[in-house]
Chains A and B, each alone.
Chain A
Amino acid sequence: MISSLTVVPFVLYLLLIAALPLFVGRFWDSNRNKLAVAAAASLPVVVYLLAAHPAGAELLVGAAREYLAFIALLGALFVISGGIYLRGALAGTPVVNTGFLAVGVLLASVIGTTGASALLIRPLLRANEDRPRSRHLVIFFIFTVSNGAGMLTPLGDPPLFLGFLRGVPFTWTLQLAAPWAVVNCALLVIFALVDRSIARHEAPRPLDQGAEPLRIEGELNLVWLLGVVATVFVLGTYGRSWFAGASSRAAVQIVAMVVFAALSAVTTPRKVHEANRFTWAPILEVAVVFIGIFITMVPALEFLQERGASLGITQPWQFFWASGALSSVLDNAPTYLTFASLATGVANAGGGMLSAADLGGLAAHPVGHGLLAAVSCGSVFMGAITYIGNGPNFMVKAIAEQHHVRMPSFFGYTLWSVTILVPLFGAVALLFF
């Protein structure tokens, strides 16, 4: 039986990721320091797995494989979306703004919430740059495009892709279309009302002021994007029959992602990267930080799978709120896997033999299906509750501030999200879980 102490490095590491930028920001700026923190948190876990766990080496190899596949996909989407630039600006009327967010909601499930956020936030800010009050645009953008939208495919949000890497079928997430539609439609309606109310108190602007038709630059990246989507879909759907081993499947996927990312980097005109202020720094940072997450979570997930049923969280609504609450203050990707493992333990309490390493079984299990749906919705939706719940949140905030939008503080933003999102999520819990 695995000791509960093995969970400590994972919890500690997630808390450090949340706290270090706040208290020792300059230290945390350096990727070398991040790597040192990741190594310090991972070392006891590696020693434990190699010295005391019968399948420790195998688990570490699996974690490495999963890590590489995960980073390869995130990297490919990051590079490709960084090679697409929407030039021009629309007139930022409430109708146009709402339509813009709606497009982002649809796009996020294809290019990911990070890609959609990076692609669309600047045109939205340009369309509204002469408005005296525009922070609400950014807040609702984070609620929808950066979070709630990425539910329909595993490409939409990192937690879902982690689930996909662990065997959840590519099309399984389409079953979450109903809560996705409820949350995003409600948010778009609320946004339209808020934006209209604010616009009414602003000085009237000529309709064509600042308007310039949008046009896409770096359009070749749409082809590379299609290649990524097709690769993930085909490997997820047919990969198990084509490749016997998980390693060979992962290798094909990693190579394909690297090739598409390289094609994007080579073919994208420099002016597009400059317009997007594209640098490798964010994805390098993600790659470094996730090393520690993937290693430290190995025993934590095992522990939760083993003891899940005894922790008192057994109902879908509990999984929805618990995974969501943690996703709002920690990153939602590891939180998703944590609660998916817990759900595996709960499903096994009824006599199953499911493994947290293969969440496909959980997705097909009569009890596990509902639990996984709740975990998916909680992790994806509630990443919007704070600036640190999901990767794109802070990115969008930082870009908005560079455009002279004074964003609310951490707690100010959380007040917005608690006021608007929590009642909405309450309705989702009542309706679906």
Chain B
Amino acid sequence: MDILVCLEGSASSASAVEAAIGLARSLGATLVGLAIVDEPDIVAGQPTGIGGSSFKAERDATLLEDAHAQARGWLDDFTARGRAAGVLLRTLELAGRPAEMILSELQNHDLTMLGRDVNFRFETQERDRYTRDRILRRAGKPIVVVPAHPAQAGATVLVAYDGSAAATRALRSFAASGLARDRRVHVASVDDDGADAFEMARRGCSLLAAAGIEAVPENVVSAESITDALLARAKKLDAGMIVAGGYVPSPLARFMWGSVTHGILEHTVVPVFLHY
């Protein structure tokens, strides 16, 4: 098994590296550190006015040099931390559009680790939700999103399950990933009717049982939003990871229909396993 770790300068990326090292040690996996230089955005054409193109050329060269230097720095740091932890690793530096580079590369790996607040377009953008959203929407492979400074949580995994195709896909992907090894797994469903919620959770447990994983059904009945109810249950169980289903990345779509997965992703204090 090998795990792709997407590197950049945010605190959540550093946390993703720590989490990846932890997984690599427990699963015997190889880590692949990936740093990206967002060359297309740095050198993209701009209206420069008269006399501006020479300043733009100088600016582009400076930003590219800085981006390469930062990428090298993150890869060196990743290598040092991985070696200190005694895990097998290799590194990769690519130049191109971050979302496309990561989407292409992650197809070659079993699992991808990503910081929640990553900014791969750090030379040109204050924030970069675009890249993360695009990766989560298009990956078609399991991804673990890690928040900055995750809580020191236990070995429990909470699987949020609502019977949907997206939730089922995430659950099966989690079962196949090996991440359930040595962990207690709880499957939670939220409903106004506790019996219905329990039945749904039990069906999720059956799916896991078919993959050889024992799980405990959790019915959640709460006056809070589904997101808050699931996060509260995760906290109560001292969960160290949440498995969630669908992801609705567009802000408009989130506004129109909401997204429990997105809410969990934004507010969780533990890593989230996704497979969209």
Chain A contacts to B: CB under 8 angstroms: 17-19, 21-25, 28-29, 277, 279, 281-286, 289-290, 331, 386-391, 393-395, 398-399, 401-402, 404, 406, 410
Contacts and interface: CB of A to CB of B under 8 A. Distances in A.
Interface stretch (B58-66, B130-138, B187-195): B58-66
B183 interface: no
Contacts of B58: 277, 279, 398, 402
Nearest to B59: A398
Given A282-B51, A389-B49, A29 B63 contact: no
Contacts of A388: 47-49, 52
B55 interface: yes
B45 A286 contact: no
A249 to B, nearest CB: 26
A331 B50 contact: yes
A285 B49 CA distance: 11
Interface residues of B, number: 23
Contacts of B45: 21-25
A25 B44 contact: yes
A114 to B, nearest CB: 8
Contacts of B125: 406
B46 interface: yes
B107 interface: no
B120 to A, nearest CB: 14
Contact of B47 (A395, A402, A410): A410
B50 A285 contact: yes
Given A402-B63, A406-B124, A406-B126, A21 B54 contact: no
B126 A387 contact: no
B53 A393 contact: no
Given A21-B47, A21-B53, A25-B53, 17 more contacts: A18-B47, A21-B46, A21-B48, A21-B52, A21-B56, A24-B45, A29-B53, A286-B51, A386-B47, A389-B49, A394-B47, A394-B48, A394-B51, A395-B51, A395-B52, A399-B59, A410-B47
Interface in B32-49: 43-49
Given A22-B46, A25-B44, A406-B124, A399 B55 contact: yes
B57 interface: yes
Contacts of A279: 54, 58
B51 A285 contact: yes
Contacts of A282: 51, 54-55
Interface string B55-83: 11111001100100000000000000000
Contacts of A22: 45-47
A289 B50 CA distance: 7
Contacts of B51: 282-283, 285-286, 289, 391, 394-395
A77 to B, nearest CB: 12
A388 B47 CA distance: 6
A45 B218 CA distance: 81
A393 B47 contact: no
Contacts of B126: 406
Nearest to A333: B50
6 contacts: A19-B47, A25-B45, A29-B53, A285-B50, A395-B52, A395-B55
Contacts of B62: 402
B131 to A, nearest CB: 16
